Amino acid sequence: MTENPFFEAWTTPFELPPFERIDPSHFPPAFERSMEEQVAEIAAIAGAGAAPDFANTIEALERSGRLLRRVSRVFNNLDSSATNEALQAIDRDYAPKLAAHQMRIALDPGLFARIDALYRKRDRLGLRPDQLRVLERHHLRLVRSGARLDPEEKARMSAVSQRLATLHTLFGQNVLHDEDEWRLMLNEEDLDGLPDFARAAAATAAAERGLDGKYVITLARASIEPFLAFSARRELRQRAYAAWAARGTHAGAHDNAPLIAEIMALRAEQARLLGYPSYAAYRLDDTMATTPEAADRLLRQVWEPAKQRAAEERADLAAAALAEGLNQPIAPWDWRYYAEKVRQQKYALDEAAVKPYFVLENMVEAAFDTAGRLFGLRFVPRPDCATYHPDVRAFEVQDAAGHAVGLFLHDNFARAGKRSGAWMSSYREQESLDGEVLPVIVNNNNFSKGDPTLLSFDDAKTLFHEFGHGLHGLLSRVRYPSQSGTSVRRDFVEFPSQVFEHWLSVPEMLRRYARHYRTGEALPEALLEKLLAARNFNQGFATVEYAACALLDLDLHTRPNPAGLDIARFEKDFLARIGMPPEIGLRHRPAHFQHLFAGSGYAAGYYAYLWAEVLDADGFAAFTEAGDPFDPALALRLKAIYSAGDTEDPMTLYRAFRGREPEIAPLLAQRGLAA
Ligand SMILES: [Zn+2]
């Protein structure tokens, strides 16, 4: 009988989980014991004889559940990055149990009575600003969970969140199933138009599946997007696009339509119980935007200009298609292909000619160097830190004085058992309640592995984006665990990630790090200029593709009574209602819109990317105005945002950095939509 590693202290560097000793069978007993522990901790707080004070209630609450956090983080990370049937079965089993556990705490009358008593006299407790905020946030969290409801309503709230947890889990597993299931196997003669990097990636994907000598296209974005952009075989593009768009829609055991209908009905019920007219109204009440109307207003400011831009872009595409003999309307599986042709004509910029200059390792160095020049960080490889997969690299992060500030894990490649997309997560979060705890942060990407791995400019942007989130976790300097790093309002959390993307396009960084994989030569100056000149290219398409999803999300979650929702019908009606251009497909159709349905984190919140883009465009403009992308005084003020976690109101933080509130003009210019 092996010992359960979750019940031991970990002596590894940064208490990195001892992955090689963790077996799926360790999770159920670890979940059980850690929930029991926290229940006992909460009972001790709620039942304490002493009158409530900040230390015996709020700080005690912040200390509770440490084992559960440790177990959950390891589980969630492995289940996302390296899952298998055993982990997926545990997820289905424990998602509702964990939801019930969280609700049991949130709805504990004794705990709420003590927090409420403190909240009522919060101005007289002599609290520091971060303490006042942590008290207010806990109070609001419990109220928003239903702490003020009567016992019958509380029971219903708890049942609803348990069922939702199960539905979210099943939704994500269905998408992963459809993505793992499908592949397009090609022979040499099917590769017309594909540049070397795409051929190499397809050969690697085939070899990984034991199909040496063949070529495989998968539904990973890094595989299918280049295929749609370059394959000259229209019928193959159409087949691949159809499979991509159909994820989650197949009738049978993995159909997401019935799950969506049930999720929407339950969310509306949650909102009703809490006294909100809709789920969107409930969710946005606790954001920077504060109302669905404010978020909708921002989206509408870009929607019509973006459609106009897209119509102009379509005319260029149709002309290019006609020149090639295609006398049919542009279809969604044609857009990327002809956009590539137009890009070459208009900017003489060939994506395939650029890619050899974007070597993954060099772009990682560029991201590290940017963090060094802005924030004084250094990244030192720690090959001695064993992780959960041989492709994952570990780095010790040090400040300018050489002191460790955390550990950074980089998991960059697509593989079976890893969910699609790119994300940042953590194994441990920074806090200093009982002594300094250093963060262990992970970035996941889904690049196609090659020798070497070459990135598109968009891939490199994704790398910088996730790294920006990573820095938000690594630079955190807070006392309370619940305020750590990225624990900020949802429509503010994309600011640190999106603003960081801007440094990829700083010419001196491109000159230094965009080097040809074979010759080591720097990106030619002419190509660099073309790359930057073409930045607004196809932004009508990109904005329509994104904004349609964000509008759909808000529209769906603003319905007061979505009972009996037919999601396919809704999607069709909605697209007609907003005048969606037929040649542009939805970036995420509801059936595989994981932001919305594989969890509730971004439900009624997909607008957050554009909301934060107002801030990132306006924020980076400060560096442009200063005439130095690494202006030290500005960098120091920006660092304060990355370090603050949720200790302050986001707009207060932004004003302290920028000296004023954000303006929308830089966003419109950035997307080429300015009048
Ligand atoms: Zn992000």
CA 313/CA 541 separation, integer angstroms: 8
Inform me whether the pLDDT recorded for 347 exceeds 60.
Answer: yes
The per-residue pLDDT for 612 is 95
> Helix, strand or coil for residue 28?
helix
What distance in angstroms lies between residue 153's CA and the mean position of ligand 1's atoms?
Answer: 35
**Do residues 21 and 84 touch, judged by C-beta distance below 8 A?**
no
CA-to-CA separations, 453 to 140, 184, 247, 363, 503, in angstroms, rounded: 46, 21, 27, 11, 21
Report which secondary-structure segment, H or E, holds 624.
helix 608-626
Q: What DSSP state is assigned to residue 57? A: I
Residue 312, pLDDT > 70, answer yes
Q: Give distance in angstroms: CA of 526 to centre of ligand 1.
A: 31
**pLDDT beyond 70 at 1:** no
* Neighbouring C-beta atoms of residue 47, cutoff 10 Å: 10
Query: Cα separation of 292 and 281, whole Å?
Result: 6
More confident residue, 673 or 399: 399
Q: Give yes or no for a contact between 268 and 279, defined as CB atoms under 8 angstroms apart.
A: yes
Q: Which residues contact 576 (CB under 8 A, 6 or more apart)?
A: none
Quick one: pLDDT at residue 14?
97
Phi, psi for residue 381 in degrees, rounded to 5: -55, 140
Predicted confidence at residue 221, as pLDDT, reads: 82
Check pLDDT > 90 for residue 80: yes
When comparing pLDDT for 347 and 41, which is higher?
41
Label residue 15 by pLDDT band (50, 70, 90): very high
The owner of tokens 């919140």 is: 605
End-to-end alpha-carbon separation of the chain, Å? 70
Report whether pLDDT(383) > 70: yes
Q: Binning pLDDT at 50, 70 and 90, where does residue 419 land? A: confident
Using the mean position of ligand 1's atoms as its centre, give its distance from the Cα of residue 118 in Å: 35
Flag whether pLDDT at 63 surpasses 80. Answer: yes
Q: At CA 331, angle to CA 328 and CA 336, rounded to 5?
A: 120
Q: pLDDT category, 346, cuts 50, 70, 90?
A: confident
Distance 470 CA to ligand 1 centre (A): 10
Q: Measured in angstroms, how far is the CA atom of residue 189 from the centroid of ligand 1?
A: 39
CA distance 74 to 426: 9
Q: What value does the mean pLDDT take over residues 531-541? A: 90
pLDDT at 213 over 70: yes
Q: Which of 41, 429, 466, 545 is catalytic?
A: 466
3-state SS of 235-270 is HHHHHHHHHHHCCCCCCCCCCCHHHHHHHHHHHHHH
Average model confidence (pLDDT) across the chain: 96
What mean pLDDT do residues 162-183 have? 94
Helix, strand, coil share (%) of the chain residues, nearest 5: 60, 5, 30
- Average of pLDDT values for 144-172? 97
Segments in 432-584 forming alpha helices (H):
457-474, 494-501, 507-513, 525-533, 539-558, 567-578
Handedness of CA 207, 211, 215, 221 (dihedral sign): negative
* Residue 363 pLDDT level (bands cut at 50, 70, 90): very high
550 Cα: distance to centroid of ligand 1 (angstroms) = 15
Distances in Å between the Cα of 663 and the Cα atoms of 215, 258, 491, 660 are 48, 42, 16, 9
Question: With bands split at pLDDT 50, 70 and 90, how would you rate the model's confidence at 23?
Answer: very high
Q: Quickly count helices (H) and strands (E) in the chain.
A: 27, 7
Q: From ligand 1's centre to the CA of 595, what distance in Å?
A: 11
Bridge partners of 522, per DSSP, are 515
Identify the pLDDT of residue 578. Answer: 97
Overall average pLDDT of the 452-481 stretch: 96
Using the mean position of ligand 1's atoms as its centre, give its distance from the Cα of residue 469 in Å.
7
For ligand 1, the distance from its centroid to the CA atom of residue 282, given in whole angstroms, is 22
Considering only CA atoms, which of 656, 571, 667 is closest in space to residue 614? 667
Give the Å distance between the CA of 324 and the centre of ligand 1.
Answer: 38
Distance CA 456, CA 10 (A): 39
Segment among 156-165, 528-537, 581-590 with least mean pLDDT:
528-537
By three-state DSSP, how is residue 2 classified?
Answer: coil
**pLDDT at 96 exceeding the cut of 80:** yes
- For residue 534, pLDDT over 90 is answered with no
φ, ψ of residue 455 in degrees (nearest 5): -110, 150
Q: How far is CA 316 from CA 353, 396, 583, 599, in A?
A: 22, 49, 13, 39
Mean pLDDT, range 408-425, rounded to an integer: 93
Element (H, E) at 279: helix 279-284
466 is catalytic: yes
What is the pLDDT, as a whole number, of residue 273? Answer: 97
536 band by pLDDT with thresholds 50, 70 and 90: confident
The band of 82, judged by pLDDT with boundaries at 50, 70 and 90, is very high
| Helices 632-644 and 650-658, axial angle in degrees (round to 10) | 170
What's the pLDDT score for residue 276? 96
Q: Beta-carbon neighbour count of residue 635 at 10 Å?
A: 17
Task: Indicate the helix (H) or strand (E) that contains 396.
Answer: strand 393-398
Closest of 279, 649, 601 to residue 488, by C-alpha? 649
User: 423 - beta bridge partners?
Assistant: 444
pLDDT tier at 167 (50, 70, 90 boundaries)? Answer: very high
CA of 606 to the centre of ligand 1 (A): 11
Residue count of the chain, please give it: 675
Q: Are 443 and 612 in contact (CB under 8 A)?
A: no
User: Is 0.75 surpassed by the pTM of this model?
Assistant: yes
Query: What residues does the ion ligand 1 have nearby, CB within 5 Å?
Result: 494, 497
